[in-house]
Amino acid sequence: MGRTEALGAFFLALAFTFFITPATAFIAKKINFLDRPSSKKVHAQATPLLGGLAIYFGFIFAASLTVHADNALIGMLIGGTVVMVIGIVDDKFGMLPRIKLLGQFIAALTAVLIGVKVVFIKTPSLSVVFTCFWLVAMTNAFNLLDNINGLCAGVGAISAFFFGVLAFINGNMVIAITSFALMGACLGFLWHNFPKANIFMGDAGSLFLGYMLASIAVAGSWKTSSVTTSLAIPVLILGYPIFDVTLVTIMRLVEGRPISKGGKDHSSHRFAIAIMESIRGSRSRKGRSAGRYEALGSAVVEFMKGLKKKGEDRAINRIAVLGFKKKRAVLILFSMSFILGIAAIGMTVLGKYFDWSIMIVSLFLLVLFGIRLSKIHVASIKK
């Protein structure tokens, strides 16, 4: 197995998912499998679900033709199938959070018993507990990330790409090919989900993506100068989903709201609100007559000034003076996820003299970004 199989897995998953997604949307409409608007959601009309099913079958189709499965991959696929089915049931009928969580733990334990578990914890029972916790946590992180068009699929594709590259560097061809197959499935679906969503992946898709990426993070071997920095590599690649769920959890605890209750208070929502407000404020102050280059120069200057300001002048709002609209906020978050992936690559190839520095700088920037987003008022949230 090598580059040919990896490229084949990517293009097979991409093509299959791209062509099957409209069919799943058609079926979803016929059987009334739709996501209807509500106060907790950003879409304004009923939209077909079952996109996750297209991602699942696209990935399975490509992987079955290109990968010689080992025990770890078999465990990943069985567990991934379980969480995908849980997601479909939840999308259609709804499910109590504790029942949903129990099903996720069963899926995680199944994968662990077959062969997916961390190796840095030598005590078997602790290794099982830690792996199950990691799988369930990341599964739900991606579930929460599916809150705006394209974000979950795009971040999933970026994460899978960097896991695939690092697996190649470390000589783990099974994980590399699996990662590129998952990347292809995400991109095949993304065409139909961003910037305009003709179909949603639903819980079936977000749970499956989170579970598979978490499993890949465990099954891969990410070698650096120390155990700590080796653990930091998958955390960096999955940094944005972890950042988002951490921000949401902290803000809901601070505001006295249930963590499990949905709402428009994710980092993507806060960022989009900041962008919209800043665009309106910039236009009202300077009018529409300012030239593009003049506006760009002013934006850079104001952004630098805004690093030390609060309220209307906070730095995060200054980014929006460039004229970004809502869909471009998602592209910025894609860039953030990509940069974190580059940081993970840097930790692998640059060696022990840089890995700790990269890890500390990345953490500092994420904390700074989180502090800025936490100051953005989300008017639609009710306690």
- Provide the pLDDT for residue 136: 96
Instruction: Enter the tokens of residue 239.
Output: 């940094």
Q: What gap in Å lies between CA 96 and CA 126, rounded to an integer?
A: 28
What's the distance, CA 360 to chain centroid? 22
Amino acid 139: pLDDT: 96
In DSSP terms, 35 is beta-bridged to 47
Name residues of the chain where pLDDT drops below 70. 1, 37-44, 221, 223-226, 259-265, 269, 271-326, 351-352, 378-383
Name the strand (E) or helix (H) holding 343.
Answer: helix 326-349
pLDDT in the model for residue 38: 60
Which amino acid type is present at position 381?
Answer: I
Quickly count: other Cβ atoms within 10 Å of residue 38's Cβ.
9
Look at residue 314 in the predicted model and tell me its pLDDT.
Answer: 37
Q: Which helix (H) or strand (E) holds 230?
A: helix 227-237
Q: What is the pTM of this model?
A: 0.84
Contact 219, 116 (CB under 8 A): yes
Tens of pLDDT, residue by residue over 66-90, are 998 888 899 999 999 999 999 999 9
